[in-house]
Chain A
């Protein structure tokens, strides 16, 4: 069973461009979380999605950021008109269906660099 996959692992964008980060959860997992790790900081929650639904987006910046998890295909975190402050590592985690407790399994992260 393959783990959580994220691509690309490294992404370089110029200011004003769009960044698309992809996350394929583990097989059988229907919950996806996105976290952002700024340099020398801990991970901060951005958004929690189930298939075709955003459950909690309390950590998402109000502008330029969006996320989706379609019925088919990976979850996408999209950042429009990137700025230097968006440079960070973006981690995706997945967990199985709802339950009392479900461990979140992390992907290797995508390191975004904005020039």
Chain B
């Protein structure tokens, strides 16, 4: 079974600054995906960024980037130029890659990010 650990329950960052959210995971699988989801106060789950485990290059989506360390089983999210709209819960998630079939997501417990003026 897979586990996902987010050790920072809460983080705060000033607007325009950079913040890094931590995530570690444990798995015996070799093929998988990792994700960061954002859950604003509306509770809608929004996919922020995705990383394929077989890719060495770190994924980037505009102001969001990841630091994927496969050997260390670490997957941190960096938010640059933080904006007030980034205030939300952030969840790290794991998906086993099962060839030919969709698979369930395993989530961490989340990090509550507050962006301040």
Compute the total of residue contacts between A and B using a CB distance below 8 Å: 58
Contacts of A33 in B (CB 8 A): 102, 104-105
Segment from A17-25, A75-83, A99-107 that makes contact with B:
A99-107
Dominant secondary structure at the A interface: strand
Known interface pairs A100-B97, A108-B43; A42-B107 also in contact (CB < 8 Å):
yes
In this complex, what residue of A is CB-closest to B109? A42
Q: From B47, B102, B107, give the contact of A44 (CB < 8 A).
A: B107
Q: On chain A, which size bracket covers the interface? A: 20 to 34
Contacts of B47 in A (CB 8 A): 103
CB neighbors of A among B13-44 (8 A): 33, 42-44
In this complex, what residue of A is CB-closest to B99? A100
In this complex, what residue of A is CB-closest to B33? A101
Residues of B bordering A, CB below 8 Å? 4, 33, 42-47, 50, 52, 91, 97, 99-102, 104-110
